[in-house]
């Protein structure tokens, strides 16, 4: 009888909020870790970039100081020329080469010699005027710029500039356009932009020279350590060599016999591998013969002939024995080998070719045999044919 008044109380505990809260906290932890890694990576990149910036600055300032000494131009003036060349679209090194060529030609002009003497005279520059500017490279450059700006014929201007500054004169004309007044304007801008003075550049040069000396100390120290350790390294090398040779002698026959045994070992390994493959293939054939024997015992079944084929490695063994003979001849009588090296090499090539053909024939025979037998058994089973009929077809 059914009972009345039975109540079922169904309650559910909502754990979803708690689960999502745990997931959220986990994601926050992952996010925090990712951003911490990002911050660290950014800091590392920033430090590396700052180091590269400092290094490039040191190199550039040091080159500026060295170039100032070579050209005989003050550091302040050299930075003015660098600003002018950069704005004019000319590499500063190119501009510096042109200025050096100008200095050489101007010196020859003062001595009354040089190919550019006629050019200076054509520009209206006298030796007396030139002597007043001797030693002041910026004044000389300003004078040349003023004189070139007065030449209206562009072809003639380029000719004069080429004779004074060299092959890249066409680039320098753009920089000197405007004469000494333009150069003075670049000097004011360079000073306003914060150009380095002679003492600052010299300080950087001294630091770079100090670093170079420090590197030289470490390099020389390394070389000295290696040189002092060289006798020990030599003894260790000699010890290893003698131990190796002693091991060869203990094994018998020295290094030559050891190498010969290794060669024989390779041949033996190949022989074992081929023997294993042959045994496996012949074992597969025997298995199929056992299946055929069981098949022939079935009632109302015509006897199916057994597989008579077997893999034979006699020729392969003969090839390996030939190779062993060649190796033995090399190890015992070197002179005879050199006398017949051409014939032995050709013979070895032929034997190796036979090996390759044997490998290929074994592989093809195995593949064809397996595919044929498997296909015929499948037809016999699924098409209700006798095994003999499938082979005939």
Average of per-residue pLDDT across 79-93 = 84
Counts of helices then strands in the chain (DSSP H, E): 15, 0
Q: Contact, 90 vs 205, CB < 8 A?
A: no
Local confidence band at 226 (pLDDT 50, 70, 90 cut-offs): very high
Average of per-residue pLDDT across 1-21 = 49
User: Which of 23-27, 201-205, 261-265, 317-321 has the least mean pLDDT?
Assistant: 23-27
Q: Helices (DSSP H) in 135-253: which residue ranges?
A: 137-149, 154-165, 169-176, 179-192, 198-251
**Could you tell me which residue, 387 or 82, shows the higher pLDDT?**
82
Q: Which two tokens stand for residue 207?
A: 């630091």
pLDDT in tens, 100-130: 888 888 888 888 888 888 888 888 888 888 8
Task: Quote the CA–CA distance of 64 and 160 in Å, as a whole number.
Answer: 28
Domain boundaries, the chain: 72-194, 254-392
pLDDT in tens, 338-378: 444 455 455 556 655 655 665 565 556 556 655 665 565 55
Average of per-residue pLDDT across 281-287 = 83
> Would the pTM count as exceeding 0.85?
no
Average of per-residue pLDDT across 88-99 = 83
Average of per-residue pLDDT across 85-92 = 83
At residue 10, the pLDDT reads 44
Average of per-residue pLDDT across 171-184 = 83
> Nearest-5° angle of CA 76, CA 82, CA 87?
130
User: Which of 91-105, 286-300, 334-348 has the least mean pLDDT?
Assistant: 334-348
Task: Quote the CA–CA distance of 207 and 87 in Å, as a whole number.
Answer: 30
Alpha-carbon distance values, 168 to 83, 143, 163, 296 (Å): 18, 19, 10, 101
Residues in contact with 49: Cβ distance below 8 Å, sequence separation at least 6, in sequence order: none
Place of tokens 């042109």: 98
At residue 359, the pLDDT reads 55
The pLDDT of residue 334 is above 50: no
The pLDDT of residue 383 is above 60: no
């Amino acid at each position: 009888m059914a009972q009345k008044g039975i109540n079922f109380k169904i309650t559910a505990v909502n754990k979803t909020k708690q689960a999502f809260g745990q997931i959220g906290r986990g994601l926050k932890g992952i996010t925090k870790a990712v951003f911490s890694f990002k911050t660290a990576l950014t800091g590392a990149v920033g430090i590396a970039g700052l180091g590269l910036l400092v290094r490039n600055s040191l190199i550039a300032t040091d080159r500026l100081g060295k170039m100032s000494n070579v050209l005989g131009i003050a550091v302040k003036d050299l930075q003015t020329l660098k600003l002018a060349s950069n704005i004019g679209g000319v590499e500063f090194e190119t501009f510096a080469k042109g200025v050096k060529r100008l200095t050489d030609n101007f010196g020859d002009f003062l001595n009354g010699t040089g190919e550019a003497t006629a050019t200076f005279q054509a520009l209206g520059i006298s030796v007396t005027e030139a002597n007043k500017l001797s030693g002041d490279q910026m004044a000389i450059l300003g004078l040349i710029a003023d004189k070139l700006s007065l030449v209206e014929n562009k072809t003639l201007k380029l000719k004069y500039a080429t004779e004074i500054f060299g092959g890249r004169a066409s680039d320098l004309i753009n920089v000197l356009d405007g004469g000494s007044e333009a150069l003075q304007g670049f000097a004011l801008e360079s000073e306003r932009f914060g150009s380095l003075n002679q003492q600052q550049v010299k300080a950087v040069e001294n630091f770079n020279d100090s670093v170079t000396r420090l590197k030289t100390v470490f390099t020389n120290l390394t070389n000295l350590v290696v040189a002092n350790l060289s006798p020990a390294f030599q003894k260790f090398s000699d010890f290893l060599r003698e131990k190796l040779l002693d091991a060869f002698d203990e094994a018998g026959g020295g290094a030559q016999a050891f190498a010969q045994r290794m060669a024989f070992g390779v041949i033996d390994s190949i022989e074992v591998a081929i023997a294993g493959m042959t045994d496996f293939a012949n074992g597969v054939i025997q298995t199929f013969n056992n299946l055929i024997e069981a098949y022939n015992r079935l009632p109302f079944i015509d006897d199916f002939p057994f597989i008579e084929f077997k893999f034979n490695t006699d020729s392969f063994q003969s090839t390996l024995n030939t190779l062993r003979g060649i190796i033995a001849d090399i190890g015992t009588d070197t002179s005879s080998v050199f006398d017949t090296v051409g014939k032995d090499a050709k013979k070895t090539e032929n034997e190796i070719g036979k090996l390759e053909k044997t490998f290929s024939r074994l592989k093809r025979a195995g593949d064809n045999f397996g595919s044929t037998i498997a296909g015929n058994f499948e037809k016999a089973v699924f098409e209700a044919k006798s095994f003999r009929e499938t082979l005939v077809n």
